[in-house]
Structure 1
Amino acid sequence: MANAPHGPASYFPTIETKYGRTVDEWFTLLDAAEPTGHTALVTWLKSEHGLGHGHATALVQFHLNPGKWSRI
């Protein structure tokens, strides 16, 4: 399992299955979102799109720091 995703990316398969959008679609929505900053974006995903806290946090964390995390 050396190539298994870690960090926020470990949530991505479940996010796609549970909420019916690809991770890239979520990132496109985050790019266009009015709120900025970690907390505001997490709150927005939860209130506007019904994501759970952990899933919203994983997407925002990766979105705001793409160079820090691997998708693989």
Structure 2
Amino acid sequence: MTEKVQGPASYFPSMEKKYGRPIGELQQLVRDRRAAEPDAKHTALVSWLKTEHGMGHGHANALVAYVLAEDAAG
């Protein structure tokens, strides 16, 4: 039996379909932005994705939450 994906990653299939980009590429956008602005907080990154990349709030929030958690875990 396959476990159902939960949390922010549950948005990934719909994000790939909606924005036409692989999730790894979308995650790299966030990482690149953090490299350019290391002090950028979660809300600033979400706003940036919405403004610059046309993402909806839920998708942007899920993407940022996932990337920040993954990077913090190392």
Query: If the TM-score is normalised by the length of the shorter chain, which range does it land in?
Result: 0.7 to 0.9
- Determine which of 56, 61, 65 is the counterpart of 2:65: 61
Q: Which has the larger share of helix?
A: 2
Residues 1:61 and 1:21: Cα distance change in structure 2 (over 3 Å): same
Provide the C-alpha distance between the structure 2 equivalents of 1:67 and 1:41, rounded to a whole number of angstroms: 14
User: Scaled by the length of structure 1, what TM-score is found?
Assistant: 0.85
Provide the C-alpha distance between the structure 2 equivalents of 1:52 and 1:27, rounded to a whole number of angstroms: 15
Provide the C-alpha distance between the structure 1 equivalents of 2:10 and 2:55, rounded to a whole number of angstroms: 16
What does residue 19 of structure 2 align with?
19
Shift of 1:4: 1.4
Q: Which amino acid aligns with 1:61?
A: A
Q: Which runs of 4+ in 1 moved over 4 A?
A: none
Shift of 1:22: 1.0
Shift of 1:67: 7.1
Relative CO higher for 1 or 2, CA cutoff 8 Å, sep ≥ 6? 1
Gaps of 5+ in 2: none
Report the secondary structure of 2:4's partner residue.
coil
Provide the C-alpha distance between the structure 1 equivalents of 2:9 and 2:24, rounded to a whole number of angstroms: 12
Based on CA coordinates, which of the two structures has the bigger radius of gyration?
A: 2
Report the secondary structure of 1:21's partner residue.
coil
Indicate the RMSD between aligned Cα atoms, in angstroms.
Answer: 1.9
Gaps of 5+ in 1: none
Give aligned-pair identity as a percent. Answer: 51
